[in-house]
Amino acid sequence: MPLYTWLRTATASVAVVLATATATTAHAAPAPTGEPATAGAAAVVTLRYDDSRAGGWEAAIAAGVASWNAHVDNVRLVEAAPGTRAEIVIVATTGWPQAQLGPVRPGRQVRVELGSQAVTQGYDKTRIAAHELGHSLGLPDTKPGPCSQLMSGSSAGTACLNAVPNATEQARVESFYANGAAARFAVDGRVLVDAP
């Protein structure tokens, strides 16, 4: 048998052996014990909020949190247990609502101020709370804007009661926290004041 033919045959044989060995030993890694294997399951980033200094805003905060939790999948807002550090500190103030721009990540911290001056002017408390939480999650203002944009804030007017992020706002937050990736983003930290 000529050397060239022998080398071609040997190379083909080795390739078949390797392919067979790989096919028989390759398999999906098992899920960790106690957790079901789910295809495409995304990592969820949990952010704690502390509203212990936001007296009078509890119902609005709870509704704002519920709105975000119902409309985004890979970040979850939960109330911090007493005495534990929270990523989002919420306080009631007498001025205009304002918040530090995120996206906040676990172990870091931003501050949200829910100002009574906006309520005095006729703005809805739940919309204010959901809007300010949106800043913590990384969304800037989109002023001027329609009521359908949560981040249009005060520019939508006092008649606007919408506390639900629209599809674009939801997608942006999802992208900030995709696959647990909040750690890749630095908190912007700018304070955004939501006065008209």
- Residue 85 backbone dihedrals phi, psi, to 5 degrees: -75, 135
**Which of 84-98, 113-127, 178-192 has the lowest average pLDDT?**
178-192
Q: Tell me the whole-structure pTM to 2 decimals.
A: 0.76
Structure token pair of residue 88: 């989002």
Contacts of 122 (CB under 8 A, 6+ apart): 158
Contact present, 187 and 108 (Cβ < 8 Å): yes
Q: What is the pLDDT of residues 135-170, one digit of tens each?
A: 999 999 999 999 999 999 999 999 999 999 999 999
Distances (CA, A) of 86 to 3, 51, 133, 161, 167: 72, 9, 13, 28, 27
Residues designated catalytic? 132
Q: What is the mean pLDDT of residues 99-126?
A: 95
pLDDT band at 43 (very low <50, low <70, confident <90, very high): confident
